[in-house]
Chains A and B, each alone.
Chain A
């Protein structure tokens, strides 16, 4: 375990060395290196999967080969030594600079400790989040199981058509570590990346280093970020990639614009709503470059931005179009009352039950501000009605409004990129009242806080510092560095041997534990319609082969199950499924009020 982190770290360092001379600041270099690392992980796995070679060995060797090639190239050009020295001196300079700002140094230290605690939790606790078990992990595990890019027949139907960039980051961990222990840490690396991107963006807006560091803490200590960083979701990835893209978009050169496009292309392939984010990036480019003025490089930059978006993001939707006749399957695409692509439901219908009826009377335009005040007593990784934390309404938003009054004194284009990019993405995101969907909005607050601390009066700076520190203390008190886990749970998990941790949460869902303990390695498990927690069917070390066969039509089910050489069938306990137990060769070997497991009798069924 851990090879995935080590190799990703080595690739990151390789790109950091390679890009050192291309960027003036270390933070920009780090952002660019992080983007290229993520892009390499995603693209290499995708290419290998297209060839049917998505296995641990090919993934490891191809990435080692690319890394070695990069390092050899750098060594041949004699860039390696100077780049190492330059990065080292920049790091030392940054630490010295922080040492002159004790508050910033202290908060960076606290954030590092909290990040360490969250990573440790992600390692010792098995993944237990709803969407993670329902479709993010099943997509990743299916890719590992099949080793190719086939359209996965599955339920929930997201598994068959969901864009898979975050899932390919999960397969990276599974393939290289040989276990699913780190899949819930897939978002973690994007947490420091988002903080660094915000710092870099604040510097470009014109803030001094210490205020820029302090401003970025607004996102660093947001409760939803703390909790998202330890589950196999993708919302923190979206936020971090958008902020990284905007940071690079401020630069006028072509290479940073290509990298910004890479970030937006990755976002487009993370989730359906991510497809809208590149439009916000395009709008930011348009309004910051202003092509109607002379001497801008808008059109070349637009091409440099759009090309990676098309190359990275578009294929997922093209495949959906080819497979399902609808790029956004299963969403129905309706424009001006006309149905462009048939689907099962509209986005509005899907989200219609996302809002608790007791909040239904809140007007749609006021929902986001309403939930920013967090009408909830607890925080949850889902961050539905809370999650941006006390610092957003109490300091981030006021500071951002304060910052706008300094507009003329600030570097306009950088602020325009941030404002249009984040604001545009916020407006385009469906259900933007849901905190985890719009974590990037904290970026505006971060810039605001940095602005107050940089350019505000002594009074304003004092107030901002007090509220910032108080808000962080409040957040850590209310959300806690340990999330929702009890100390006893964490202690027990840490002392449980790593190989036995994956089934820690299964005692409450005994059927999954039964399957884990009573089926031989390599068992072929078929599940049916209506089941939502799919990932545990693979078992902790992905011992089983998991396949989906819809069980509504017995005439269809029998030949399918026989063809797949099924050993076990896992379905919900429901009268409509009872016929499986009466089917020749199948007997219920486990049953409780929720799930039934059918096993194949010793009698061989005709294949």
Chain B
């Protein structure tokens, strides 16, 4: 059977044959690579949808800042705040906006308000533990000597003692006293006594059941 002889029909037939062949090749290609194309399109779409957001710029900025801080980190000695001249490991609490009431009153005037601790990196590489005691002292900071003792309490146990010769620091309403504790104190009990003229002040218990010459256990670990 002969095909059409007019040029238009032949052209049409040729086009159809070529189209079918092209489609066949395309279909064969799609059958082989369609999954790859779809996967690639999905991945590219996912990446574009994820990355083309205003939050990404902020994310990169934050990441850059964090990695910059890490890569340029020069150690605590350069970056940490100071406490008593040493790099701060564990900052003390900020009680400046707090109202502290007297836990004990000495001599009817000196009020003991509580304690806090700070930890610093000592020059010797060891961690230094600082005891901070808070006082309200109407007569001025230098009028009282505070004696700290530490060690394990109990019969026959000798307690080490530290007499603070220098005056404490006045900060707002409070008088704050700093004391560097030895390592042994960290595991025991620190006691406080207040002295004037070499004698212990009579202690009037305001909050805690303390009596004259009673050591106040203000900090335990």
Contacts and interface: CB of A to CB of B under 8 A. Distances in A.
Interface of A: 373-378, 390, 393-395, 397-399, 401-402, 405, 452, 456-457, 459-460, 463-464, 467, 477-478, 480, 482, 486-488, 491-493, 495-497, 499-501, 503-504, 506-507, 510-511, 513-514, 517-518, 520-521, 543, 587-593, 599, 601-602
Given A377-B59, A398-B42, A588 B95 contact: no
Which of B90, B100, B220 is the most central at the interface, judged by chain A CB atoms within 10 Å of its CB? B90
A343 B221 CA distance: 43
Q: Which 6 A-B pairs have the closest CB atoms?
A: A398-B42, A377-B58, A513-B93, A394-B46, A510-B93, A487-B73
A486 B73 CA distance: 10
B85 interface: no
15 contacts: A374-B53, A393-B46, A397-B42, A397-B46, A405-B35, A459-B33, A460-B36, A463-B43, A488-B76, A496-B90, A511-B98, A513-B116, A592-B97, A592-B99, A599-B101
Contact of B114 (A378, A514, A592): A514
Interface in B83-135: 87-95, 97-101, 103, 114-117, 119, 121, 127, 129
Which of B39, B94, B121 is the most central at the interface, judged by chain A CB atoms within 10 Å of its CB? B39
B47 A497 contact: no
A480 B76 contact: no
A358 to B, nearest CB: 13
B49 to A, nearest CB: 6
B39 A463 contact: yes
Nearest to A395: B43
A211 B159 CA distance: 66
A602 B205 contact: yes
B70 A593 contact: no
B208 A602 contact: yes
Contact of A589 (B73, B103, B116, B221): B103
Interface stretch (B11-19, B60-68, B145-153, B193-201): B60-68
B49 A588 contact: no
Contacts of A398: 39, 42-43, 45-46
Given A402-B38, A487-B73, A500-B221, 5 more contacts: A467-B47, A478-B59, A499-B187, A500-B119, A510-B98
A399 B39 contact: yes
Given A405-B35, A500-B129, A518 B95 contact: no
Contact of B39 (A456, A510, A599): A456
A601 B66 CA distance: 49
B217 interface: yes
Contacts of A599: 101, 103, 207
B50 A390 contact: yes
A477 B63 CA distance: 6
B69 interface: yes
Nearest to B209: A602
Given A452-B39, A514-B114, A518-B115, A497 B186 contact: yes
B28 interface: no
Interface string B164-199: 000000000000000000000011000000000000
B187 to A, nearest CB: 8
A378 B62 contact: yes
Contact of B219 (A374, A399, A467, A517): A517
Majority SS at the chain A contact face:
helix
A494 to B, nearest CB: 9
B137 interface: no
A507 B219 contact: no
Given A376-B55, A497-B186, A507 B93 contact: yes
Q: Which range contains the number of B residues in contact with the other chain? A: 35 or more
B79 interface: yes
Contact of A497 (B56, B69, B127): B127
A398 to B, nearest CB: 3
Contacts of A507: 90-94
Contacts of A504: 90
Contact of B50 (A374, A463, A464, A590): A374
Nearest to B205: A602
B66 A373 contact: no
A506 B76 CA distance: 20
Contacts of B115: 517-518
A460 B66 contact: no
A588 B114 CA distance: 13
A491 B46 contact: no
Contact of A492 (B35, B63, B76): B76
Contacts of B70: 480, 482, 487
Nearest to B32: A457
Contact of B101 (A517, A521, A589): A589
A507 B90 CA distance: 8
Contacts of B7: none
Contact of B119 (A378, A464, A497): A497
B98 A492 contact: no
B113 to A, nearest CB: 9
Contacts of B45: 398
A393 B48 CA distance: 10
A517 B207 contact: no
A590 B117 contact: no
Given A457-B35, A460-B35, A514 B53 contact: no
A495 B97 contact: no
B40 interface: yes
Interface string B199-221: 00000011111000000011111
Contacts of A491: 73, 75-76
Which of B35, B43, B129 is the most central at the interface, judged by chain A CB atoms within 10 Å of its CB? B43
B186 A510 contact: no
B160 interface: no
B80 interface: yes
B88 to A, nearest CB: 7
Contacts of A493: 89
A394 B47 contact: yes
A509 to B, nearest CB: 8
Given A482-B70, A518-B218, A518-B219, A393 B117 contact: no
Nearest to A471: B47
